[in-house]
Amino acid sequence: MSSLLFIILLGGSLVSLSSQTDLQSDVSTSNSTTERVAQHIVAPKCDCYVVSGPEPGYFQHYRFYDFRPAPARDTPKKGMKKKNDKKEKDRENMGPTGINSRHHALNGHAFFKEWNIQSWHRVGSTLFPISIVHSYDNVYITEGKASSSDGSYHLVLRSTRHEEYTSTAEVQTSAENILHCSYRVRMRLYSTSQGGSGKILPPPGGAVAGIFTYHSRNSESDIEILTIDPPNRVHYSNQPDWDPTTDEMIPEASDDIDIEVPWTDWADHRLDWLPMQSRWFLNNDLVLEKDYGVPSSPSALVLNLWSDGGQSVYMGVEWIQIAYNTSTQHVGETHDPHTQMKPAAGEPEKDPEGNDGNPDGRPVQQEDQDRDYDYDQGEYASDYDHEDSHSGDRDGGNPSEKLECAVVCQIDDVGMTGVPEVVWDASWEQH
């Protein structure tokens, strides 16, 4: 990097990025599995972000949502989990108007501002006979034995099978114009004993956990875990992975990989969606590369959990980290929301949990649908959350413009996870 002007190609466009604001952050050690170190960190002013890999990708924007230091005010009320595990209904009237008052630990958190807790439902069909109902109550922050260290909290997505439907959990970025990203989730899957001891157990079969990008059923990239599989097997794919003409799987589209760390243990699951390739990592070690079926459309990022078994299953999430670019497409313009099995037009179904989501299964957007993808500053210092101040580049940049990236930061191989470190600064050339 010997040029006085550092020019970087981002997602097919040359874009200009202005410097970021300083942010003091209270963060943890890089792996968060042992000692937790709290100290003031002054975040560098990064114009763009580089990620590790065979051919490093560069991104305009960055987010780190850390749930470990969060208060546990959002844990379900006493007796609630017991009721749900007995297949009774969750609390009712969980429409969007009540979400702020019911998710106190998430209220004000950058995650809550930038992701939507879903409430849509999918009526049972011949292919999927069990109705799915996403509930706000199935997303909360808690402290417990499932955390990786004492005093640590984590976000929970919960799924429970009831007699007539499955109560499930899903969160999705309010933005749907993400065009290429490095999407990382530190997570594990678990269940708990029925006797009230809170003992952490392996999850029963029948649950499906997903970490994926989504534009339509024919344009998505997935990390998928099935609890019926051995606990070290993960499914990686670019959709579609099934050919409706031949009624067969497309071999090039998906791979089932046995990873080194079981998904019952904490690990960093990573999906890099690049212009010409998808890459999957575990704990930043490359697992798979795929050139076939790489998505090319602006997308949302989704995290979900659903099941058809009777026992509750939990996805614990300690943090979510994203480096990403955006397109000129606005919020709310995904081609085909991933609620694929929705009722026929004119046949709305009653939501068994009383959610006020749209009856056709479309996700409820909590944010202004007409604005560009532009984040607000997080309230908690533990979120390394830049206030994007890139004048003129919020839509991903103009391909006709050739502008500079003065400060480059890496997000991998750093002293503390969630705190990027400067690897190149144009000012260095001046000395």
How would residue 403 be classed by pLDDT, with cut points 50, 70 and 90? very low
The pTM for the full model equals: 0.74
At residue 265's C-alpha, the angle toward residues 261 and 267, to 5°, is 65
Between 108 and 244, where is the model more confident? 244
**Lowest-pLDDT choice from 66-80, 224-238, 384-398:** 384-398
Choose between 371 and 173: higher pLDDT: 173
Say what the pLDDT of residue 338 is.
46
**Widest pairwise Cα distance in the chain:** 70
Is the pLDDT score of 167 beyond 80?
yes
Mean pLDDT of 236-259: 91
Asked if pLDDT for residue 106 goes beyond 50, the answer is yes
Q: For the chain, which domains are there?
A: 65-383 (2.60.120.200)
Q: Higher model confidence: residue 333 or residue 301? A: 301
| Confidence at residue 69, expressed as pLDDT on a 0 to 100 scale | 86
- Give me the pLDDT at residue 78, please: 45
Residue 247 confidence (pLDDT): 86
pLDDT at 152: 84
> Cα 192 to the chain's mean position, in Å?
24
Confidence of residue 131 (pLDDT cuts 50, 70, 90): confident
Percent of the chain past pLDDT 90, that is, above it, reads: 40
Please report, in angstroms and rounded to a whole number, the separation of the first and last CA atoms in the chain: 14
pLDDT (tens digit per residue) in 132-166: 888 999 999 888 778 777 778 899 999 988 878 88
Q: What is the pLDDT of residues 347-372, one digit of tens each?
A: 334 444 444 443 334 343 333 332 23
pLDDT of residue 41: 55
pLDDT in tens, 287-304: 999 999 999 999 999 999
pLDDT higher than 60, residue 257: yes
Statement: residue 104 has pLDDT above 90: no
Work out the pLDDT band at 199, boundaries 50, 70, 90. confident
